[in-house]
Amino acid sequence: MRHHLILRVVTKLLVGCIILFAFYVQFHGDFSPGGGFQAGVIMAVAFILYGIVFGLRKVQAVFPPWVVHKMVALGVLIYAGTGVVSLFLGYGFLDYGAFAPHHPSHGQHYGILAVEFGVGVTVTGVMVAIYYAFAARPARLSDEEW
């Protein structure tokens, strides 16, 4: 892939834009279409594109597999932790009113942001982990046999 200079340069330019768009979808998902799942997939696409163009070793140097696996668990903990916090505050599981009892609509906003952030982290980790699993498989056919 060393000879695909234009592809490599364009990919380096696009990855930052894709990640920025993923953050936009993540943090504006409660006001517009989008949210944690969509943002997680878009974020994963940035790393998958980088891996397709530069190779598995390069993307794993940028985004190591141990970080990917920790992200999966961290996202689930953020999601579940949001519900547990509301339980400890005397409300029901995932009752977002617990986060701002004086103004329940603000609590709804805070709770949704926390849950969607957890979903986004988990989906990013899962999608990249799936890519790593498939990309690390040894090839059964050589390029000449195609």
Report the chain (146 residues): mean pLDDT per 10 consecutive residues: 81 96 86 82 96 94 96 95 91 86 84 90 97 89 70
Identify the pLDDT of residue 138: 83
Model pTM score: 0.86
Identify the pLDDT of residue 43: 96
CA pair distance 124, 120, nearest whole angstrom: 6
Q: What is the pLDDT of residues 44-72, one digit of tens each?
A: 999 999 999 999 999 999 999 999 999 99
CA pair distance 84, 78, nearest whole angstrom: 10
CA pair distance 31, 86, nearest whole angstrom: 23
Residues contacting 82, CB < 8 A, separation 6+: 94, 111, 114, 115, 118
Residue 42: strand, helix, or coil: helix
Both tokens assigned to 88: 């400890």
